[in-house]
Amino acid sequence: MKNDINTKNRAPRNRTMNLSERDSTNFEKKIITLTDNVDTSNIINKTIHQDLFSCIKYLPDSFVDLLFIDPPYNLTKDFGSNKFSEMSSDEYEQWLDSWLCPLRKILKPTASIYICGDWKSSSSIFRTMSKYFKVRNRITWEREKGRGAKINWKNCSEDIWFGTVADDFIFNVDAVMLKRKVTAPYKDDDGKPKDWVQEINGNYRLTHPSNLWTDLTIPFWSMPENTDHPTQKPEKLLAKIILASSKIGDVVFDPFLGSGTTSVVAKKLGRKYCGIEIDARYCCLTEKRLELADVDKSIQGYNDGVFWERNSLNVQRNVNKKEKIISQQDNLLAHVTYGQSTV
């Protein structure tokens, strides 16, 4: 496989993931291509290197619990070996329908569906999704990166449409709580904290998730999850969706897998996974990230079972250090006390 991922000159501290020639050779052996109907066991925890339209017909029925889709938005974009060209809204809507309709067969009756888009493609996604599923919400998330505009508003948000096959579906609200710093620590008449707690590193409140997400960071050069894929989503974004709409052991499927974030996060959170990607390089990057996930299951911004606000990594590290010190002190005290009691 021709590999031009490594041709870029990078700064010494740049942590963007690369593929060596040896990586490409090794990970190519792990990806699969479908040429006939397959059982679920043949594709679980696999990366399928193929055009989506050529393999939908081979996928088994009713095996997916959570479908996450991050399709090309309706703009001209170069994805390396492939390029997507902008089209009219009607044409884009027809293109969405051409793969969303046949993908229905792979979903369980209790499955949930999430589809990503920007302001321009969002209405087309809603109309197409409404034909086949129960649309339940639209999540808008803030992209803190982006170029300014002189004759328009800066584009710094994207949408994720949430839907389900039926009224019976999973939503684990307690698994996606957001930990916020309390700036106005009100107390009740007894002087006790009102809906907040005082912790080692300050005052915090756990809040229920809304459909406006402002705590995400687009992967960039200093983050180990970063790759050269032009539209890579944050692992934290996928963690929110996977924790909310699936259980441990459920199957998460992504038909536009890219560099593998959906599969990687599913693996880190104890779910099964499967994805389709047309670019062999990104398939190999996916497999490399999956291998690394055997050792490192951390997700930046998700710690101790809760999601933290953006730019709070140092606070999280300090909390972990202080908790570790306290735990060591407690163990030492218990050991001393035990020793005295046996004298």
pLDDT at res. 328: 52
pLDDT band, residue 32 (cuts 50/70/90): very high
Q: In the predicted model, what is the mean pLDDT of residues 65-79?
A: 94
Structural contact between residues 214 and 310, judged by C-beta atoms closer than 8 angstroms: yes
pLDDT band, residue 195 (cuts 50/70/90): confident
Q: In the predicted model, what is the mean pLDDT of residues 162-169?
A: 98
pLDDT at res. 341: 52
Q: Encoding tokens for residue 11?
A: 């700064």
Distance CA 37, CA 34 (A): 8
Q: In the predicted model, what is the mean pLDDT of residues 200-214?
A: 92
Q: What is the pTM of this model?
A: 0.88
For residue 178, CA distances in Å to 19, 63, 141, 173, 248 come to: 35, 31, 14, 11, 20
Q: Is the pLDDT of residue 334 over 90?
A: no
pLDDT at res. 321: 59
Q: Encoding tokens for residue 60?
A: 């088994």
Q: Encoding tokens for residue 161?
A: 């449409």
Q: In the predicted model, what is the mean pLDDT of residues 31-60?
A: 97
> Which of 15-19, 78-82, 271-275 has the highest mean predicted lDDT (pLDDT)?
271-275
Q: Is the pLDDT of residue 5 over 50?
A: no
Q: In the predicted model, what is the mean pLDDT of residues 163-177?
A: 98
Q: Is the pLDDT of residue 61 over 50?
A: yes
Q: Encoding tokens for residue 92?
A: 């884009």
Which residues are CB-contacts of 284 (< 8 A; sequence separation ≥ 6)? 1, 19, 23, 24, 27, 28, 31
Mean pLDDT of the chain: 89
> Which of 16-30, 120-134, 146-160, 320-334 has the highest mean predicted lDDT (pLDDT)?
120-134
Q: Is the pLDDT of residue 317 over 60?
A: yes
Q: Is the pLDDT of residue 12 over 90?
A: no
Q: Is the pLDDT of residue 337 over 60?
A: no
pLDDT digits (tens, 9 = 90+) for 109-153: 999 999 999 999 999 999 999 999 999 999 999 987 767 788 999
For residue 110, CA distances in Å to 29, 40, 169, 246 come to: 34, 17, 5, 10
> Which has more confidence, 59 or 79?
59
For residue 154, CA distances in Å to 119, 144, 161 come to: 12, 11, 22
